Structure 1
Amino acid sequence: MERRAFGFLRNYGSVLLLLLGISIGSIIGVFFPGFVDRLKPLGDIFLNLLFAAVIPLLFFAIASAVANIDGTQKLGRIIFTMVSVFLGTILIAAVCTIVALWFFPVEPPRPLQETADTLLQAPGDTWGDKLVRFVTVDEFYKLLSRDNMLAFVIFSFLVGIAAMRSGESGTSFRKFLLSGNDVMKHLLILIMKVAPVGLGAYFAYQVGTIGPELFGFYAKPLGLYYVLCAFYFIVIFSIYVYIAGGWHGVNRFWKNNILPSATAISTCSSIATMPVNLVAASKIGIPPAVANVVIPLGTTLHKNGSSMSSIVKIYVAFVLVGWDFFEPMTLLTALGITVLVSIVAGGIPNGGYIGEMLMISVYGLPTEAIPAVMIIGTLVDPIATLLNATGDTVAAMLVSRFSLGRSALKTAAHRTGGDEGDGKD
């Protein structure tokens, strides 16, 4: 009995400490909201440590994975499958949201009188200029900012391809990339030692500042969105991982998805969750050649939660101004905006504001809709980030299944010492 209890604490002790920190933080946020501003710096310190570690971890993870892809793990097949999975799951999330809104319409909220004319002032840059800045930078040091995350991901990807193509002369560099990836993973383990304190402080701040608004003006659309996201998170994600790895894949995913989920909800940042996702992917048994490519790219390009929230925000804005959301061209445009939002809304806290401005400009919505859309965007951010971030791990499992075969997760689990016998296909 004592040995079993010790084994349980060894396997789940860190998770129990994390849940304890989150519970204490939530209680403080509910009963002592005036105290949360004093706790927030602790959460900021933890989040800053994660952000500082993300850049080198991202580089070594992507470059080492690409550089060491062998002949049985074709890079082109992985990339093609990844793009298909990203687009497919984003559109499925959007369609599910449209169906839910059709069956459960929301009463029009009271129009807000504030305007935000300055938000509609378009900069002088063309879309071509914005695209260039989005995927590239003109100085190397700019790559080290998370404001240019997609450009950095592309650069790391190209370094990995160059290392893979360099043959024997690049052997030492490829070993350096693998060694650097291992070092950065151990750095992440050290940082996560303070996760119970850091995430607990962030939960206190979230509950203390945003919590009261959840019961006010936007309760009905927010309630529908949160219920739909919970359904999608539990049911649809379980279906995806079952397709990817059978019942043993389902068990492994949920067993190792606790820490990424808590990190996503408390930080509202896909980038901050990415390092934890990579650790979870290793425990699940996702091959490194897939996980180290799909998850970092998914942080920027794959957002199920943002897909669903963009549909809800468009719907609320249309109801506010008295327009018909379910007109066919409006729905097709909404799906197009959803895909774009999943690309342009970077993995930083509240990054959806970019997508909101895109939505306003495409539909030509009046200025009185802007505050309502931005408030909705702020209040859905925690659970949207949950789906965005943990959905990257789900996507990596699907990419493993369709690009490397059904046995990919089992084989990788044997190599990493993952659990086997969790269930049967």
Structure 2
Amino acid sequence: MMKFIKNYQSSLKLLAGIAIGAIIGIFFSDFALLLEPLGRLFLNVVFVLIVPLVFCNMTLAVANNQGLDRIKKILRFTLVSFLLTTLTAVVLMYLATLIYNPFETIDTGQFTELMDQTLNADSQSLAMVIVDTLTVSNFLDLFDKSHLLSLILFSLFFGLTISSVGEKAVPLTRVITSVNHVIMKMITLVMRFAPVGLGSYFAYTLGNLGSKILGGYFKSLILFVIVCVIYYVFILSIYAYIGGGTSGLKCYWKNIFNPSLQALGTSSSAACIPVNLTALERIGVPEDIRETVISLGANIHKDGSAMSGVLQVVLLFTLFNRELDTPLAALCIIGGGFLVGVVMGSIPSGGFTAEVLLVSLFGFPVEVIPVLAVITTITDMTATVINSTSNITCGMMVRRAVEKTYYKQTQLPVK
């Protein structure tokens, strides 16, 4: 027992913090709302460190790489794994809604007030949305956490350029390496505050969420949680087994709890980048693979958000009396969820952008957007757990595909 406590003390501290936060959020919601500044303080510090961490990691992953062919292979297998796992997630959620549609018997009157809150959303063409997602017009905007995908692309280009320069760029590489070590040390120190910070933010989230879980929303949340548990326990275990065999699966479960708790407490894929990198390092995934998969995955690979997107489309179809079980409906629902999880997750300061595109895509009135936004709100915590942990299993599978061998667990401690 003492050995278990010693090995998992950081996970147990996080769990205790989140458990206390849950109790406060559920039973003392008014007090929980007062804890938002404490939780935001922790998240803000993490977000500040995320930008230099991503820049250094992605630049070094390319600059120190064994060759351009390897980084191309890593990127190719990364994108393939993202595509297949997200498709699996949305199909699973769609099948679940066919078995039980949580909105089938809802009183649509409860949505009247929300639908009357017309959203004056600026619509953009899909082409311009993609341009604004991949690029920025100002160099300093790269170092805003809302533009992480642009920063990743710049870092890849910067790393390739360093690699092409050769010996003349060695001093710069050393400087970036030193900065990376310092940032990682800062993150280690900040994470000591995680039980308090995560617990406070989790309490605030639950306290603020209570009034939103009503009627059909509550049923949809229950269905979503059930499907996510199935995905988390079984589907992700299959991915881990594919990536590492029996030993890889055991190692995965030994190192997954901190990332899961971080995701649950913060509801932010970006905030999970440091703990996910550490988890993959302990599992034994090489540096260039884990940095590429985790940095990209936090932006464009969100299986949980994709499943939430399926619920949004099902709600739309139910409210406007469209069939769910026809081949065309299946394609629309699966495609809509895929759009939310893969494309919309990376849009800077997107806000309601995903919902705007969904209603535009299917021809629904813009007034329904606030109704969809509630789905995003109530599923956010659970979705982020899936978003974060699925990136870890993708890292394992990419490692398996690139190096074509299973691997042994590293000797790093679990704590």
Aligned residue in 2 for 1:94? 90
Aligned residue in 2 for 1:37? 33
Which whole-Å deviations, capped at 9, do the CAs of 1:160-194 have from their partners, x for residues lacking one?
11112222222222222322222211111011010
Q: Which has the higher contact order (CA 8 A, sep 6+)?
A: 2
**Which stretches in structure 2 are left out of the alignment for 5+ residues?**
none
Greater Cα offset, 29-38 or 191-200: 29-38
Which whole-Å deviations, capped at 9, do the CAs of 1:183-229 have from their partners, x for residues lacking one?
21111101101001001101211222214543644222221111001
Aligned residue in 1 for 2:6? 10
- One-letter identity of the residue aligned with 1:250: L
- Is the partner of 1:53 in helix, strand or coil? helix
Percent identity among equivalent residues?
36
2:382 is the counterpart of 1:383: yes
Q: Once superposed, what is the RMSD of the aligned Cα atoms?
A: 2.3
Aligned residue in 2 for 1:342? 341
1-structure distance, mates of 2:241, 2:14: 27
Matching of residues 21-420 of structure 1 within 5 Å: 21-71=17-67, 74-106=70-102, 107-111=104-108, 112-114=111-113, 115=115, 118-119=118-119, 121-123=121-123, 125-211=124-210, 213-214=212-213, 216-346=215-345, 353-367=352-366, 369-407=368-406, 409-410=407-408, 413-414=409-410, 417-418=411-412
Question: Are residues 317 and 229 of structure 1, via their aligned partners in 2, closer, same or farther at CA, if it must alter by over 3 Å?
Answer: same
Q: State whether residues 321 and 369 of structure 1, in contact with CA within 8 Å, keep that contact through their aligned partners in structure 2.
A: no
Q: State whether residues 65 and 288 of structure 1, in contact with CA within 8 Å, keep that contact through their aligned partners in structure 2.
A: yes
Q: State whether residues 90 and 304 of structure 1, in contact with CA within 8 Å, keep that contact through their aligned partners in structure 2.
A: yes
2-structure distance, mates of 1:382, 1:251: 25
- Is the partner of 2:293 in helix, strand or coil? helix
Could you tell me how far 1:418 is from its partner in structure 2?
A: 4.1
Which whole-Å deviations, capped at 9, do the CAs of 1:369-390 have from their partners, x for residues lacking one?
4333221111011111111112
Q: State whether residues 61 and 181 of structure 1, in contact with CA within 8 Å, keep that contact through their aligned partners in structure 2.
A: yes
Question: Are residues 386 and 326 of structure 1, via their aligned partners in 2, closer, same or farther at CA, if it must alter by over 3 Å?
Answer: same
Greater Cα offset, 59-68 or 329-338: 329-338
TM-score (norm 2): 0.92
Could you tell me how far 1:319 is from its partner in structure 2?
A: 0.9
- One-letter identity of the residue aligned with 2:22: S
Question: Are residues 305 and 352 of structure 1, via their aligned partners in 2, closer, same or farther at CA, if it must alter by over 3 Å?
Answer: farther
- One-letter identity of the residue aligned with 1:23: A
Question: Are residues 386 and 347 of structure 1, via their aligned partners in 2, closer, same or farther at CA, if it must alter by over 3 Å?
Answer: farther
Q: State whether residues 243 and 399 of structure 2, in contact with CA within 8 Å, keep that contact through their aligned partners in structure 1.
A: yes
Which whole-Å deviations, capped at 9, do the CAs of 1:370-411 have from their partners, x for residues lacking one?
33322111101111111111211111111111111223x42x
Q: State whether residues 30 and 207 of structure 1, in contact with CA within 8 Å, keep that contact through their aligned partners in structure 2.
A: yes
- Is the partner of 1:119 in helix, strand or coil? coil
2-structure distance, mates of 1:325, 1:404: 42
2-structure distance, mates of 1:48, 1:173: 29
Q: State whether residues 264 and 384 of structure 2, in contact with CA within 8 Å, keep that contact through their aligned partners in structure 1.
A: yes
Greater Cα offset, 266-275 or 232-241: 266-275
1-structure distance, mates of 2:214, 2:248: 37
- Is the partner of 1:69 in helix, strand or coil? coil
Question: Are residues 48 and 151 of structure 1, via their aligned partners in 2, closer, same or farther at CA, if it must alter by over 3 Å?
Answer: same
- One-letter identity of the residue aligned with 1:358: L
Which whole-Å deviations, capped at 9, do the CAs of 1:59-92 have from their partners, x for residues lacking one?
0111111111114971111111111101111111
Q: State whether residues 149 and 346 of structure 2, in contact with CA within 8 Å, keep that contact through their aligned partners in structure 1.
A: no
Which whole-Å deviations, capped at 9, do the CAs of 1:281-310 have from their partners, x for residues lacking one?
111111111001110001111010011111
Q: Alignment length, in residue pairs?
A: 410
2-structure distance, mates of 1:116, 1:327: 30
**Which stretches in structure 1 are left out of the alignment for 5+ residues?**
421-425
Could you tell me how far 1:9 is from its partner in structure 2?
A: 3.9
TM-score (norm 1): 0.90
